[in-house]
């Protein structure tokens, strides 16, 4: 029999749960559209787009969960209380909050020329739906975004901010039409829609061709030694130009994919850097130049390339005490993850525990090309995102930044014809866009794992259930994100300090659980 005190407590809890259910804004559901893939996309236009509101305060000792599945839902919300025992035969996910790992910095995507060009081709009202989907409180609330410094392959032409041959004083340095039309307005819009801070970092693909040994944006070429200082000044000019036009900069990477610049067949913008040259340039040019300009507050990241460069490439720079003081972290791309396991991330973290690791680029469709670049409704591509994010954050990545925020129906435009997939695909002819399953994979993290949360342990005994866990700095709010790769409905019990969240989850599904302790 329940004592009357306990009964009242339960009644009050029930009342508060009901009250929050009544007052919380109801979300607009996904408008499904099926193409030729294993799952569906959510279609949005000027009048309609699905939303995801903040769960608000979760009553103590209860949880709220959001689920997405291949066959049914997108961010389907439910809630419940904890139990004192697990379900029989459930897969037991054990959380251990005794030890804290890295502090999370954020999740997001990239403002590329192509993303912006695709977005501004929509009507204003549809643009608003798209930008809100990524940045507003009714969307997945990205907090950490990247932008190329001048052209990348996701531009309609190769260019830099100073294409006047021999202008070493950079008197002709100027932002491009692409910045004014496709990037700055959207970055400002994102900042105004967001109720969180949106941190932005710049990455160069290539210096001006005339600064390089081969005189080209692409193929094999390095920075000429006499251009080391002008190229450092160019970084300062980029930051100043963006910041004076309403786009504060939080960080920089020193070069996108630096080892691609030793490949004679590299089709798009690049610049080759050995680790030794990069180290020397940072300590004699870039570091002191940023410092002299009052920009030491910027987070400086090295590498910005695949796992197969770990730990040796950043280690070569970080082993140097002078270079070390200027470098804040290592940026990593996902393209070799299927061949190189995550142990190299932990190895790097162990060597330089004061320096962060951040995933700064990933996309699907990069290895198939042609008509397969974009797959509208592919669930397996979203599972790859989920597994990769979980694997990376469980090995110290402080966040995960996706590549182009929006591409067209062919996965472009791209001047070098390097077409790929994106979480939002734009059908400009119909003035609509499609939120891919990968959009929801990103959202299962970005909405709920807010910057400042710390990663904690969660152990899954089943190789088809992958999970990550986080706790807020007050140790009150826990966030668990997991993926079910099984083809069947599964019972899962999440254990924290002797109590259990018992869930029955669909086949091929993603979940975020928010639990409030005490
Ligand atoms: C769309 O927005 C732009 C910029 O705010 C404005 O100049 C333009 O008139 C708008 N177009 C329509 C059709 O409302
Ligand atoms: C490099 O870019 C030029 C255009 O600027 C192009 O003609 C050439 O094919 C590219 N190189 C490779 C290897 O694709």
94-122 pLDDT tens trace? 999 999 999 999 999 999 999 999 999 99
Closest CA to 205 of 320, 32, 307, 333: 333
Structure tokens at 366: 């990069």
β-pair partners for 428: none
Question: Which residue's CA is the closest to the ligand 2 atom numbered 9?
Answer: 267
Report, at the CATH architecture level, how domain 62-104+454-518 is classified. Sandwich (2.60)
Say how many Å lie between the CA of residue 431 and the centre of ligand 1.
Answer: 15
**Can you give the pLDDT at residue 257?**
98
| 0.75 surpassed by pTM | yes
Q: Which ligand is nearest to the CA of 126?
A: 1
Domain residue ranges in the chain: 62-104+454-518, 106-446
Q: Please count the CA atoms within 13 angstroms of the CA of 13 that sit on its side-chain side.
A: 17
Which atom of ligand 2 lies nearest, measured to the CA of 158? 5
Catalytic residues: 257, 361
The class that CATH gives domain 106-446 is: alpha beta
Residue 218 CA: nearest ligand 2 atom is 1
Which tokens sit at 473? 């700095």
Summarised one tens digit per residue, pLDDT across range 406-446 is 999 999 999 999 999 999 999 999 999 999 999 999 999 99
The one-character DSSP state at 296 is T
Distance 162 CA to ligand 2 centre (A): 20
Distance (Å) from CA 221 to ligand 2 centroid? 13
Nearest in space to 175 (alpha carbons), one of 252, 270, 232, 243? 243
Residues of the chain with pLDDT under 70: 1-25
> What is residue 371's predicted lDDT score, i.e. its pLDDT?
85
What pLDDT shows up at residue 90?
97
Ligand 2 pocket test, candidate residues 215, 416, 417, most atoms within 8 A of CB: 416
Predicted local confidence at residue 20, as pLDDT: 40
* Angle between helix 124-135 and helix 184-193 axes, rounded to 10 deg: 60
Contact between 427 and 406 under an 8 Å Cβ cutoff? The reply is no
Question: Given this model, what pLDDT does residue 21 score?
Answer: 41
Question: β-pairing, 465-471 with 62-69?
Answer: unpaired
pLDDT at 56: 86
Q: Quote the pLDDT of residue 19.
A: 37
Count of CB atoms within 10 A of residue 28's CB? 15
pLDDT given for residue 25 in this prediction? 62
Q: Which residues lie with the beta carbon below 6 Å from any ligand 2 atom?
A: 158, 218-219, 265, 267
Closest ligand to C-alpha of residue 128 is 1
CA of 199 to the centre of ligand 1 (A): 27
Of 345, 228, 334, 204, residue with least CA distance to 287: 228
Residue ranges of the alpha helices (H) in 399-501? 437-446
The closest ligand to the CA of 266 turns out to be 2
Q: What is the Cα–Cα distance from 166 to 148, expressed in whole angstroms? A: 23
């Amino acid at each position: 029999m329940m004592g009357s005190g306990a009964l009242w407590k339960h009644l009050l809890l029930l009342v508060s749960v009901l009250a929050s259910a009544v007052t919380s804004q109801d979300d607009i559901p996904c408008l499904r559209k099926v193409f030729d893939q294993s799952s569906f996309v959510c279609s949005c236009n000027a009048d309609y787009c699905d939303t995801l509101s903040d769960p608000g305060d979760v009553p103590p000792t209860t949880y709220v969960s959001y689920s997405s599945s291949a066959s049914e839902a997108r961010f389907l919300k439910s809630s419940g209380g904890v139990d004192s025992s697990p379900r029989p035969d459930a897969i037991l996910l054990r959380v251990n909050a005794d030890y804290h790992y890295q502090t999370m910095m954020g999740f997001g995507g990239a403002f590329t020329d192509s993303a912006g060009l695709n977005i501004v081709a929509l009507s204003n009202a549809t643009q608003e739906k798209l930008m809100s989907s990524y940045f507003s409180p009714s969307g997945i609330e990205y907090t950490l975004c990247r932008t190329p410094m001048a052209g990348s392959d996701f531009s309609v032409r190769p260019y830099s901010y100073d294409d006047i041959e021999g202008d070493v004083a950079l008197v002709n340095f100027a932002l491009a039409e692409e910045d004014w039309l496709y990037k700055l307005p959207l970055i400002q819009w994102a900042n105004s829609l967001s109720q969180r801070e949106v941190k932005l970092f710049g990455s160069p693909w290539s210096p001006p061709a005339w600064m390089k040994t081969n005189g080209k944006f692409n193929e094999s070429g390095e920075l000429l030694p006499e251009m080391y200082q002008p190229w450092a000044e160019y970084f300062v000019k980029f930051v100043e130009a963006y910041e004076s036009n309403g786009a504060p900069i939080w960080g920089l990477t020193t070069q996108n994919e630096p080892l691609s610049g030793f490949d004679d067949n590299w089709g798009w913008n690049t610049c080759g850097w050995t680790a030794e040259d990069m180290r020397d340039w940072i300590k004699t040019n870039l570091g002191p130049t940023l410092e002299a300009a009052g920009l030491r507050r910027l987070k400086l990241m090295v590498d910005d390339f695949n796992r197969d460069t770990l730990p040796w490439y950043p280690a070569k720079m970080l082993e140097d005490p002078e270079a070390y003081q200027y470098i804040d972290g290592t940026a990593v791309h996902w393209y070799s993850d299927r061949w190189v396991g995550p142990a190299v991330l932990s190895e790097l973290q162990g060597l330089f525990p004061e320096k962060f690791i951040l995933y700064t680029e990933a996309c699907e469709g990069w290895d198939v090309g042609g008509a397969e670049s974009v797959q509208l409704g592919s669930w397996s591509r979203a599972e790859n995102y989920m597994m990769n994010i979980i694997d990376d954050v469980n090995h110290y990545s402080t966040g995960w930044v996706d590549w182009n925020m929006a591409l067209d129906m062919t996965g472009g435009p791209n001047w070098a014809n390097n077409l790929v997939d994106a979480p939002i695909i734009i059908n400009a002819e119909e003035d609509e866009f499609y939120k891919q399953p990968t959009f929801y994979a990103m959202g299962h993290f970005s909405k709920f794992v807010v910057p400042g949360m710390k990663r904690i342990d969660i152990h899954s005994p089943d190789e088809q259930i992958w999970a990550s866990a986080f706790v807020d700095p007050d140790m009150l709010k826990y966030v668990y994100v997991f993926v079910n790769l099984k083809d069947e409905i599964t019972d899962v019990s999440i254990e924290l300090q002797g109590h259990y969240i018992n869930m029955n989850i669909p086949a091929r599904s993603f979940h975020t659980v928010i639990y409030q302790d005490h």
